[in-house]
Amino acid sequence: MVQVVAALLASRAAAFELGVLAEVFGIDRTDDGVPAFDFRVCALDPSRPVPTSSGFAVVASHGLEGAADADLVAVPAGPADGPFPEPFLTVLRDAVERGARVMSVCSGAFMLGAAGLLDGRRCATHWRYADALARRYPLAQVDLDVLYVEDGPVRTSAGTDQIRFDGGAASVPSRDIRLDRIAFSRGRFALEAPGGSGLTLPVQSEIGRVVE
């Protein structure tokens, strides 16, 4: 069961994608039947503001030790060319080794690749970065025609259009927590994946919708 979620905050992280993770996991929606999460933003030094790519800095709530017992370690989008500090990569590798899950949003997949966690696995990233991800990590199986991929404990998404994970035990299908698009309106709309993939999916625009 996913209860503790740690978002890794590296320099020049994308504020929007970090905000998406906070929107999904950091807000108490138990009144709507959504499980409660212990959401932590983890940085190398939580006493120092971390610059984002949007011109402002964020102060993390935890150091990297805050991810040591996380059920899910998430990487928001960030610079595809890094840098990827070794302590972050160690956190990701350790998470997989102890049976936790890791997840990337958009170009956050490059940090998973730097940790060696995409080797031999299918993965997704934003279509603009797909070729670069495949070149940099040739052992990764980059799929341009999907919005998200779950390959064992590693979850990758093509962008902030869709974040999905199984919130129950790995062997027992349980709840899906979906954030299909940032939108506060209700109803349904079609989401077409860019890049010529021709993939069109019906998605819910309600944030944090729980699907049994």
- 205 - beta bridge partners? none
**Average pLDDT, stretch 69-82?**
95
Tell me what pLDDT residue 170 has: 27
Average per-residue pLDDT for the chain: 80
Tell me what pLDDT residue 160 has: 58
Model pTM score: 0.78
From the candidates 18, 20, 106, 111, give the one annotated as an active-site residue. Answer: 106
Tokens found for residue 11 = 């320099």
Tokens found for residue 64 = 């990297």
106 is catalytic: yes
Q: Tell me, what amino acid is at 23? A: E
**Average pLDDT, stretch 108-135?**
96
How does pLDDT run across 168-196, given as a tens digit for each residue? 322 222 233 333 333 323 333 333 444 44
Tokens found for residue 5 = 């979620």
How does pLDDT run across 18-59, given as a tens digit for each residue? 999 999 899 998 888 888 899 999 999 999 999 999 999 999
Tokens found for residue 141 = 């199986």
Alpha-carbon distance 139 to 121, whole Å?
Answer: 8
Alpha-carbon distance 166 to 99, whole Å?
Answer: 14
Q: What angle do CA 94, 95, 100 make, to 5 degrees?
A: 150
Q: What angle do CA 80, 84, 88 make, to 5 degrees?
A: 130
